[in-house]
Structure 1
C-alpha cells in the first residue's frame, strides 16, 4: 500500500464524485468519465471530460465554483453548443501557425466566453458560478500580465490583456500596441452565434498578428483535446459501404506506413503495440486496399455485466490456500465490461478463505493477548450492562401503563411503581459488527500489535453476546493481471462462530500479505452485513494507508469513497480506523475524511489503537441502546 497523489496533490474524493455526477447529468451519457488534467477540455471521441488542476490551491468555495464552471463549459457547453468537428479541424490547421499556442488558446477562450452566455441563458442559476470564476481568473491574469511584462514574453502578456479586456464589466483601455490593433476585432466575439463565427474572428486576428508578434506563448492556460490523427474525422463522417470493389496494390513505402508514435493522451486502459495505428478509420467510398484491419487500439467497454470466474490466488508462504479451506464465490465484469462492484474493479474477483484449526502456538499467543485486554473487556461489559439495566428500569417502573403481576412493592414502598410500558421488552443490543483488517504488505511490523486491538474487539463483543465477524483482506499481486485480479477474504471469525466460548485463536492467523483493493472488499462485505436481521450494523475498516492494487492506484480513493457511500445507503455505519506510524499528519486526516467523511479514527501506532478501541466500542454500543 502506498500514498497515491494526483500530481503531488491528494484528491478530494467527495468533491470529485460530486463533479462526476454533475458531468453525467449534463452529458446524459453514463459511459463517460471524468479526469484531472493541467487544462480543462471535452474530448467527444474519448467521451471524456477533463477538469484542471488550476483550482487545487484555491479556497474550497472557489474550488467548487471553478470546477463546476469547467463542467458546465465542457459537459454542457462543448457537448451541446459547440461544433466539435469544426474545432478538431481548425485546431489542426492552427498547428501550422508560428503562433499556434497563442491562437489555439485564444480560440478556446473566445469559444468558452460564447458558450458561457448560452449556458447562463438556459440555466440562470449558473450566473453566480461564472461570476466568481471570472473574478478568480481576472485576478490571476492581472498577476500574469505583470510577470510576463517583466520577463518580456510579449505573446503571453498580450493574451493576459485580451482576457482582462473581454471579461471586464466596463470598458478598459490598456496601453499595448498589439492590443490596440485588434481590440475592435476582439469585440466581434460578443456577437458570435456559433463556433464557426469564433473561428472567423480568430482568422482575422491571425491576419493582423501573425507577422507582427514575435515568438509564441510560453505558458499554457487553456487547451483542447489532444489531436491524434489528421484523418480520424473521416470515421464518423463515412459510414456507408465502399462504392468500388476494386483493389489497390500498395507500394513498398505504403506497406511500411504505420505510425510508431506514442501519444500523450493515452490512459492506462489504452495499450498499443509498436506497429499499431492509434485510430482505425473506415472509408465509404474509394478503393479497397489490403491493409489489415486489426490495428485499432483497445477500447473500454461501457456495458455492465457479471460473470463467474475461478479464483486464481497464489499459495502464500504465510497462509494456507488448500482446496478444503477456500470456496470461490467470485464475481467480476472482466468478460463484458464494467464490474458489478464498481467501474474501477473490472476483472476483480474474490475467494473466501476459511481458518484452519488453531495450532498450539496460536492458542498460546492468543491467551497472552487475552490476558492483556481482559481488564478492558470487563470494564466495557460492566458499563454496557449497567446502561442496559438503567434503560430497562426506566421502562418497567411506571406509575401508569400495564399492571405488573408482582405486588410485593405495595407493601415495601410508599409510592410503588406497579406498571410497565407495553412494547418495551425488545432486545436492547440489537446489533451486529464486521471488522475488516487490511492485510497488505505495508502492515509489516504492525500486524502483531494490531491483533491486540482485534482480540479486544472480539472478546468484548463475545462477552456481550453480540454477533460479529472478523476478516482479513488482500489482493494477490503476484497473480493479478488486467483480466483477473484475485482478492482474498480470510474469515478468521464468522457470525456463526463469533459467540462460541473457545473462538478467538483463529485471529492469530492474520498476516501481512500483498496489495489491497479496499473499495471492492467493502462492497462484498457490506452486501453480507446488510442482509443481517439486526437493527444496527457496524462495519469497521482497519487500514494503514491508501488503497493500492493493479490498475487501482489513482482510482482507489474514489472507489473506496463510493463503496463507503453505498454501504451507508444500505443502512450500515462505516468507520475507518487508520494506523499511523508516528505522529498523525494532516495528509492522513485529509485522506480519511475524503474516504469516510467524519466517521474515522486515527491512531499514532498500533498500541495507541488498542487504547482507542475501547472508547470507540463503548460509544458505538451506547448508541444502539434506545
Structure 2
C-alpha cells in the first residue's frame, strides 16, 4: 500500500472523487449511457475500449469555480456534442489522407469541431453557457501565452493552432501577411453545420498552409483518443459455427462506437452460455463431459437431521476454498480482471499467551462498554404506565365520566429484544501493515469480544492482492475469514492472532465484495468497518483505485450500509491525509494518531455505532 505522503511532493495530486463521480453521472445522463466512466488524462480523450471519457487535468490547480466549470465543459462537449454529432466516417476518411503536416491537420479539425459543437450545445442547452464562457476565457488566455512563446521559438505550425483558436473567439493576432488568406478561409467555420463542413474548411486551409510551413506541430493541444479504426474484438466460442454475413455496418457516430465496445464486453460470455444451454455438449475437458465425472454431485445442502451425516462448515469451507471466482463485471469496472479466493484463515502456531495478555489489558474497557450498553438497552424497556394523556385507550372508562381532566390512556411494556444490527470488519492485508500487526490484532480482538458479548452477528475478513501473480489478464485477490456470521458466538481469537501481512490492497473491490454479503442480511442496522493504513494500491489500480473506492462507499450508502474507516498510522496524521480519506469515506473516516491509540479508536467507533442502534431501537 502506498502512503499518502508521497516522495515527490510536487507530484502529490489529490483526486476529488466526489466531483469525478458527479461528472460520471452527468456524462451517463447526457449520453443516455449509464455504463460510461470518467477518467482524467492530459487532454480530453475518447476511450471506447474502456467505456471511458477522459476529462483534462488542464483544469487542476485553479479556483474551485474555474475547475468545476472547466470539467463541466469537457463533459458537455463530449457527452452532448461529440457523442452524437461528430461524423466518424468523415473523420476516418480525413485520417486516411497522406497529406503533409498530419498533426497540424488533425488538431485544426478538432479545434474547428470543438467550436462548432460548443456553439451548438449552447443554443440547445442555454444552461451550459456559463461553463463554456469559463472555458473560452481560460483557454483564450492560455493560447495567447502559447502564441507568444511559440512565435519566439519559431514553431510556426504551433503558432497557427494558437491563432486559429483565438480567431474563432474574436481575438486577432498577427502572423504576417502570408497567413491573412488562411484566416479568411478559416472564418467560414462560423457557417459550418456538420463535420464534413469543418473538413472542407480545414482542407482548404491546409492546401495553402503546407507551402508556408516547413515542419509539423510539436505540441499537442487536441487529441482524439483511441483510433477510430480500432474495433471491438469478436468473442469466438468453439461451439458456434461462423455465420456468413454481409460486410459489417459502418459505425458513424461516437455513440455507436462506444455501444459496440460495450456490447461486446458485456456479452463476452453469452455465446458459451447459449451453446451450453442449447446443445449441452460443450467440451469441459479432453474427451468431453464424461471425463469430468458426469455422475459427480456438484452441490450439497444441509438438512435438519441431528445424525452424524450432517455436513459441517469446515467441509464447506474446504470446498469453497478450491473454487476461485471471477469478478465478471459485478464489482466495478476497475476490477473486471480480478479472480478472488475465499477461505478460512489458517491458525499458525499457539498464541494463547498473547491472547491472554491482550484480553487482560482490554478487560476493563470491554466490561465497561458492555455494562453501559446493556444498561441503555434496559432503560428502553419501559414498564407499563397508566393515566397518560396519550397512548393506548384503557378499558376502564369511568374516569371519563367522574373526573374533570381524565387520563384514560396507558403504554404497554416494551418487549426485550437483542440489538438489530450486523457488523463486518475488513482488514487491509497489505505489506505496509507489517509493523502494525500487534496493534491491529488487539483492536480486532476487542471488536470480536465486544460483539460476542452483545450477541451481535459479525464477520472479520483479511483482504489482499497477490502482487507477484497479478497481470493484465488476471489479478488474484484473497479473502480470509477469521470469523463468519454462521459461527455465532464462537471464539476465534487464535485466528485473529494468526493474521499476517501480504502484498497489495484493492479496497474498492473488497468493499463491494463485503457489501454483496451485507445486503442479504435482514438486520435494520448494517455496518462495515475498514481498517487500513494508506491509500488503495494494486495492479493497474493507482488513480482509478481512489475513485473506485469512493464509488464503492457511495454504493454501500445507497444500499443502507454504513461504512466506517479507521486509518492506522505510526506518525501523527496530517491535514492532507485527513482530507484524502474524507474524500473517499466522507465524514465517517477517523484516524489513530499513534499505534497506541488504535485500540482506543476502535472502541470509540464501536461505542458510537452501538449507541446509534440502541437509540433507534
**Given the two structures, how large is their TM-score scaled by the length of structure 2?**
0.75
For 1:186 and 1:108, the matched residues in 2 are separated by: 13
| Residue of structure 2 in register with 1:461 after alignment | 451
Deviation of the 1:221 alpha carbon: 1.4
Q: 1:301: Cα distance to partner? A: 2.5
For residue 499 of structure 1, what is the aligned residue in structure 2?
A: 489
Residue deviations 1:342-377 (CA, integer Å, cap 9, x gap): 323334343432355786x31221111112222222
Question: Equivalent residue of 2:211, what SS?
Answer: coil
- Deviation, 1:456, is 2.0
Mapping of residues 315-334 of structure 1, within 5 Å: 326-328=318-320, 332-333=325-326
> Is the CA contact 1:346–1:483 (under 8 Å) kept in the aligned structure 2?
no
What is the 5 A alignment of 1:346-365? 346-355=336-345, 361-365=350-354
Hey, what's the Cα distance between the residues in 1 that align with 2:172 and 2:522? 72
Q: Distance in 1 between matches of 2:476 and 2:339?
A: 5
> How many Å apart are 1:131 and its aligned residue?
1.9
Inter-CA distance 79–30: structure 2 relative to 1 (3 Å threshold): same
Secondary structure of the structure 2 residue equivalent to 1:9: coil
Q: CA RMSD in A?
A: 4.0
State the match for 1:114 in structure 2. 116
Residues 323 and 57 from structure 1, CA distance in 2 versus in 1: closer, same or farther, beyond 3 angstroms? farther
In the alignment, does 2:560 pair up with 1:571?
yes
Pick which of 438-447 and 35-44 moved more: 35-44
User: Which secondary structure does the structure 1 equivalent of 2:435 belong to?
Assistant: coil
Please show how residues 358-377 of structure 1 align to structure 2 within 5 Å.
Answer: 361-377=350-366
Residue 182 (str. 1) matches residue 182 (str. 2): yes
SS of aligned partner of 1:182: helix
Aligned equivalent of 1:97, options 100, 107, 120: 100
Q: In 2, are the aligned partners of 1:467 and 1:498 still within 8 Å (CA)?
A: yes
The verdict on how the C-alpha distance between 1:333 and 1:617 changes in structure 2, with shifts beyond 3 A counting, is closer
Aligned length: 533
The 3-state SS of whatever aligns with 1:210 is: helix
Native 8 Å contact 1:326 1:351 kept in 2: no
Larger relative contact order, structure 1 or 2 (CA cutoff 8 Å, min sep 6): 2
The residue that corresponds to 1:288 in the other structure is none
Residue in structure 1 matched with residue 224 of structure 2 by the alignment: 224
Distance in 2 of aligned mates of 1:601 and 1:574:
12
User: Is 1:518 matched with 2:507?
Assistant: yes
Change (3 A) 1:434 1:227: closer
Quote how far apart the aligned CAs of 1:573 are: 0.2
- TM-fit CA distance, 1:496: 4.0
| Residue in 2 that maps onto 1:319 | none
Q: 1:459 to 1:217 in 2, by over 3 A?
A: same
Partner of 2:137: 135
CA 1:143 to 1:377, structure 2 compared with 1: closer, same or farther past 3 Å?
A: farther
User: Between Structure 1 and Structure 2, which shows a larger proportion of helix residues?
Assistant: 2
CA contact (8 A) 2:46 2:226 kept: no
Cross-structure match for 2:267: 303
**CA distances 1:305-345 after superposition (whole Å, capped 9, x unpaired):** 699x9xxxxxxxxxxxx9886342767457xxx43333233
Paired residues for 1:144-159 under 5 Å: 144-159=146-161
**Gap change, CA 1:198 and 1:377, over 3 Å in 2:** same
Equivalence map 1:392-407=2 (5 Å): 392=381, 399-400=388-389, 401=391
Pairwise CA distance, 1:144? 2.7
Question: Are the aligned partners of 2:383 and 2:414 in contact in 1 as well (CA < 8 Å)?
Answer: no
Gaps of at least 5 residues in structure 2 are 235-244, 249-260, 274-283, 285-313, 395-406
Give me the whole-angstrom Cα distance separating, in 1, the residues matched to 2:201 and 2:48.
24
1:421 to 402, 411, 417: 411
Q: Is the 8 A contact 1:304 1:340 kept in 2?
A: no
Q: Helix, strand or coil: the match of 2:265? A: coil
Superposed displacement of residue 476, structure 1: 3.8
For 1:392 and 1:478, how far apart are their aligned partners in 2? Answer: 56
Q: Check the 8 A contact 2:383/2:413 in 1, yes or no.
A: no
Paired residues of 1:305 and 1:340 also in contact (CA < 8 A): no
From 80, 83, 89, the equivalent of 1:85 is: 89
- 1:332 touches 1:339 (CA, 8 Å); kept in 2? no
1:597 alignment partner, SS class = helix
